[in-house]
Amino acid sequence: MPEADKSFTIPIVQEEVSVEKKAVEKGRVKIYKNVKEKTESLNLPVINEEVQIERILINKIVEKAPEAVRYEGDTMIIPVLKEIAVIEKKILLVEEIRVTKTAIHSEQKEEVTLRREEINIERMENNL
């Protein structure tokens, strides 16, 4: 046979691996949960607002109407006007209404229930 016609087979070996996983119990635990309650007293800040209304008689003729509302500090002043008939019309400032707002701070006692959880773990023997 000529050298070009020489052929032969070389065996090739291939290995394969198979991997499996299996769950194995190593131990057990019991978990207990206890809820404890505790009552506490709290002082809560409380704000109440009070309004004082004061009527001040003015009865003064004015040339023009004052501003609708004005403020002096915490006091709102609302002019009350009245037109009166005379030979000519004039504006009479009859009164001013003063509204003063005062904040009153106090404390209010409340009972509040608070809860706290505790966890206890008991490990059990492995009987496998």
Q: What is the pLDDT of residue 53?
A: 92
Q: What is the pLDDT of residue 94?
A: 93
Q: What is the pLDDT of residue 4?
A: 61
What are the residues whose beta carbons fall under 8 Å from the beta carbon of 49, sequence distance 6 or more?
Answer: 101, 102, 103, 104
What integer best gives the mean pLDDT of the chain?
A: 86
Q: What is the pLDDT of residue 20?
A: 87
Q: What is the pLDDT of residue 8?
A: 78
CA distance 110 to 47: 15
DSSP calls for 92-127: EEEEEEEEEEEEEEEEEEEEEEEEEEEEEEEEEP--
Domains in the chain: boundaries:
37-128
Q: Which residues of the chain have pLDDT under 70?
A: 1-5, 127-128
> What pLDDT digit, counting tens, does each position of 70-95 carry?
999 989 999 999 888 777 778 899 99
CA distance 64 to 80: 13
What are the helix and strand counts (H, E) for the chain?
Answer: 0, 4
